[in-house]
Structure 1
Amino acid sequence: MANTQGPNGYFIIGLDDKGNLHNSPPANDPAKIRGMLLKKVQEPMDVELYEHRIDDKIISVIEVPFSANKPHVIKEYIHKKSVTNMFIPIRKGTSVNAASKYDLDAMYFERGKYLSTLYSLTIGLQDLVKVLMVIKDGDSTKVLLEFHALVINRGINTDYISSGSLIIEECSDSSLVGQSFNLIGYKDNQSKSHLIEFSDFLVVNGNNTQRGILQFELDRETEDAAVIKSLDLHAKYRLEIENSIGNVYSSRSFSMETPL
């Protein structure tokens, strides 16, 4: 639907072909669906998930908003035991087909009307890799977090992350609330480490994506190793990143259970 011209599209779960309602509460929350899209779709589209109660039954509605960022590409499309890599679907009537050259021309024409942004970075933190503790001078500890991340550049110019922070909004240790982890570097696909302080930035070409492992360091030293335990799955964070021209992207609140 996201590749099709026209208004928003909807999937209604819980309504059969005869118009009968079936109790179908949402199986996943929106954050998990967005996480799946990040992994399976190149240029992932936005989706919204709602539930509606009708006649004491709950039906689920997945809304696919209009997207100017077409085409959205399924990395591995499986249909009737056949697998197609980098498949671009488009809905025509009640069927889904591979996009033709004319469909792609229309997508890029529409994209050109709406996407004139020169610089636009967003980022998805997909899962926590590990928590590290670095001992300094034998008595103080630096706490590091590493995340798998997908950086998306929706601008037409090459861009990079010049700085970033992971702000703690909720955790079991109230003294940590409001403090932040500063972005200190990243690891590329070859596990090579890069440090922000040496201007070794994570660069993303225009209208492209870049995967890596982002490394954040808690902006304070501590002598209490128990601080690690307070940064559990239920702790909540907000991510802020700054790009090459000083634009700041601020994420919604998230946790390790419901990543960006």
Structure 2
Amino acid sequence: MKIIKHSGAIVDFNRTKLKQSLLKSGANPTIVDTVLQQIEKEIFEGISTKLIYKMAFSLLKKSSNSHAARYNLREAIRLLGPAGFFFEKFIARLFASEHFETKTNLILRGNCVSHEIDIVVKKNNNIGIVECKFHIGREAASDVKVPMYILSRFNDIKEKQHDIFDKKNTLSKCWIVTNNRFTSDAVDFGKCSGLNLLSWNYPENNNLKTKIDNTQLYPITCLTTLTLSEKDKLLILDIILVREIINNRVALEKIGLSPNRIKNVIKEASELCRFI
């Protein structure tokens, strides 16, 4: 059976690939098989992967909100847009979880011009910059022009001393992080020029998805028990991570949730982060 991807490409329906993605949600094999059987009854020639995803999400949600939330991870990261400001905050928290000191939205003076830097990180006296490339469209990719441009900015500021964490800091590392993917040319250029690239699926064993699952640093936009409007309100309150509401009823009260809904949200958040 042929299905249509987000990009418009027509491919064969891959049951094994869908099963793997469902298992990664944390659902047990019995639930996954039930979901697969239901989807296979309803799909048709020319169905879009977007519709298949919606069906899978809805069926998972019936068994467990937290399974659906984890399955929804990539879309949840996209909801940190549209400008990507909250994506930058999310990435800063990801680096902090790996014992980096972080600062966001700094202006650093280079040899030629000043540069607005998304994140500056420090670990073991090594200081670097992190530039975030956020895409709203699922199929958009960061091509080779992105690391070329960021490298030129990094080269302009790395030789100068900066007052960041303390006096006379110099920069030695540069990361580029995107919520989608890099083209093969971008990856090759990054390797050749010494840049550290991080995307949804790169590097293979330590990519954005893997890091989030390993640290359980799920964005607040994952939760299925909150509306889009409520998620936006929490982001504005600087509640970026699911775990930041588990012991924070005040924030949930502040956005107008009833005691019963607060209980449901905290239950989903706790299950998602494996706190209970």
Report the TM range for the smaller structure's normalisation.
Answer: under 0.3
Point out the structure with the larger strand share: 1
Give the TM-score taking structure 2 as reference length. Answer: 0.22
Give the TM-score taking structure 1 as reference length. Answer: 0.23
Point out the structure with the larger helix share: 2
